[in-house]
Amino acid sequence: MERREGRILKSQFPDVDVPEMSVNDFLEQHSWLNKPQDSIAVIGRSVGPPDASKEWRLSYRELRESVRRVASGLARRGLRKGDVVFVCSSNCPEYVITMLAVYSLGAVLTSAIPGSSVNEILYKLGIAMFCGTLKFFVVSSDELTTARKLVERCGVNVARISFGSIVDKECIPFNDLLEDSGDAFPKDNCVESGDLAVVLYSSGTTGPPKGIPWAHKILVSHMAMPRFTMREGDVFLLSPLSNVPEVPMSALSLGVTSLALPCFSDPEHYSIAINKYKVTYLFCIPPLIVSLVKKGYELPTLQRCDAAGSTCSPAVIREARITHPHLVITGIYGMNEIGVLINPSSETEQSGNKRGVLIGKPVAKSQAKVSPSEMEDILMSHLGVGDVSVTGVPDPENEGYELIRAFVVRKTDAVSAEDLIEFVKDKTPRKYVTLTGGVRFLKSIPKNRVGKNMRSELQAQPFE
């Protein structure tokens, strides 16, 4: 049972002391030098055509040395504590090294998803630059045009660094940093736990993204008390590094081998990589799990999957138990805004219960609020539903209230709106929790670049 102290709800588990140190100091004491000489930290390839991109295989000691060289190269070119470094790249080993190098200098990392528009990036930079002076744009070879436009629009002379094999005369090749002697690393460098490490952004599914500053202490807390089901010895296919910086840090602290491969565009690419590299652990969003399970991909080595960003439907978990009995799916939930992730102790259908973003205003004819995930879980259990997103739409007859509307991708045209409305009525015990806003059928649910449902786009559609 939880312990209550005044208005504070305390966990039943003992407190954990989070060390007052930086990310790199934690790795120095608990990871870098404690691994066998041949223990592999990162496997991957650079961004670019597979037949032309460099393959990487770094041990923990080699990764440590690479981080120091790149940090020295950045310091030699003027990066100082508190400065801002912006990265726009798919996953690759160079990205992992750059993250750690920036942290080691006490500079601030911020990033955007590959393919972001110049306006999207400028919006995020406008937030991040409140934290310090922008010193570097770091981009993969497929984002060079975007970097050029950013420099033109910013009106400031920001140095550019490029990942990958394509050479651009306006950019510093990452290999130049990697070949640095390492002697420019500041000898008096001191990074403390309270220093800012990274600026994240909310996903923007319900409105403009919000800037979220994380100090080193938040990242160290994830490393000191891992909240994921990954284990030492796992092979982990990295999630997009621009979204979840705490996950690769936890992997490094545990001695996990991380696969830093360019972002994939569809579940088939994930399945190929999982089988090729014998991946045992995956951290991803529920829509990817839905696709991997429902499309029947064989994943014999995958043992554990932590799903975050939204809830994973109990119907999908039940199906996975049948099609992939060796796979344990665990729901992770929390808020980047407070730097907290929580996971249940084991796979549970409760991972799909009432947690999630609440529909903002009370449901019509009730003072209650309803979680979209509650409705989505019910609808996903219908055999004729392939994908769904539920959101609130204004009730034209009751100002300040909302109706519940479902946007559905059908598996078959035989499924009607009336069928689904009655299905929900039969499945929910609460009379007011019905699809009062009706059902709208779509060919696909609009999603952002990490696969989360864009409820703001759905809400913006005209009411009918």
pLDDT over threshold 60, residue 412: yes
Q: What is the pLDDT of residue 367?
A: 44
Domains in the chain, CATH or no CATH each: 9-37+58-215 (3.40.50.980), 226-353 (3.40.50.980), 372-457 (3.30.300.30)
- Phi and psi for 383 in degrees, rounded to 5? -65, -20
Nearest alpha-carbon partner for 402 in 372, 380, 429 = 372
DSSP H/E element including 253: helix 246-254
Q: What is the pLDDT of residue 343?
A: 58
CB-count burial class (<10 Å; 0-12, 13-18, 19+) for 397 = exposed
Q: Can you read off the two tokens belonging to residue 307?
A: 């799903």
Q: How far is residue 200's CA from residue 242's CA, in Å, rounded to a whole number?
A: 8
pLDDT above 90 coverage of the chain, percent: 36
137 close to 112: Cβ distance less than 8 angstroms: no
pLDDT over threshold 80, residue 208: no
- SS3 state at 72: helix
Q: What is the pLDDT of residue 180?
A: 96
CB-count burial class (<10 Å; 0-12, 13-18, 19+) for 122 = middle
| Opening angle at CA 405, ends 401 and 409, nearest 5 | 165
Largest CA distance in the chain: 70
157 close to 129: Cβ distance less than 8 angstroms: no
Q: What is the pLDDT of residue 56?
A: 92
Q: How far is residue 197's CA from residue 195's CA, in Å, rounded to a whole number?
A: 6
pLDDT above 70 coverage of the chain, percent: 83
Q: What is the pLDDT of residue 64?
A: 93
Q: What is the pLDDT of residue 360?
A: 47
Q: How far is residue 419's CA from residue 427's CA, in Å, rounded to a whole number?
A: 12
Q: What is the pLDDT of residue 321?
A: 86
Nearest alpha-carbon partner for 192 in 428, 25, 387, 52 = 25
Cα 431 → chain centroid: 36
- SS3 state at 175: helix
Question: pLDDT category, 9, cuts 50, 70, 90?
Answer: confident
pLDDT over threshold 60, residue 2: no
Report DSSP state, residue 30.
Answer: I
Q: What is the pLDDT of residue 353?
A: 36
Mean local confidence (pLDDT), 433-443: 87
For 307-349, the pLDDT digits (tens) are: 887 677 777 888 888 889 999 988 877 777 776 656 554 444 4
Q: What is the pLDDT of residue 398?
A: 66
Distances (CA, A) of 182 to 39, 73, 137: 23, 7, 21
Residues recorded for the chain = 464
- SS3 state at 283: strand
Q: What is the pLDDT of residue 392?
A: 82
Residue with more model confidence, 22 or 222: 22
Q: Which DSSP string do the residues of 177-201 spell out, in sequence order?
A: HHT--STTS-TT----TTSEEEEEE
Nearest alpha-carbon partner for 147 in 166, 170, 180, 179 = 170
Q: What is the pLDDT of residue 357?
A: 35
pLDDT over threshold 50, residue 358: no
Q: How far is residue 391's CA from residue 370's CA, in Å, rounded to a whole number?
A: 10
Tell me the chain's radius of gyration from C-alpha atoms.
Answer: 23
Mean local confidence (pLDDT), 205-209: 66
| Residue partners of 60: CB distance under 8 A and separation at least 6 | 31, 32, 35, 39, 40, 41, 252, 255
Residue with more model confidence, 307 or 350: 307
Residue with more model confidence, 398 or 217: 217
Cα 285 → chain centroid: 8
Q: Which DSSP string do the residues of 131-173 spell out, in sequence order?
A: SS-EEEEEEEGGGHHHHHHHHHHHTS--EEEEESS---TTSEE
Average pLDDT of the chain is 82
351 close to 311: Cβ distance less than 8 angstroms: yes
The residue ranges of DSSP E strands in 366-401, in sequence order, are: 385-394
Cα 234 → chain centroid: 19
pLDDT over threshold 80, residue 399: no
- Phi and psi for 199 in degrees, rounded to 5? -110, 115
- In one letter, which amino acid is 223? M
pLDDT over threshold 90, residue 235: yes
For 29-67, the pLDDT digits (tens) are: 887 767 776 789 999 988 876 655 678 999 999 999 999
pTM listed for this prediction: 0.77
Mean local confidence (pLDDT), 114-134: 86
Mean local confidence (pLDDT), 99-112: 96
pLDDT over threshold 70, residue 237: yes
For 156-186, the pLDDT digits (tens) are: 678 899 998 777 788 999 999 999 999 999 9
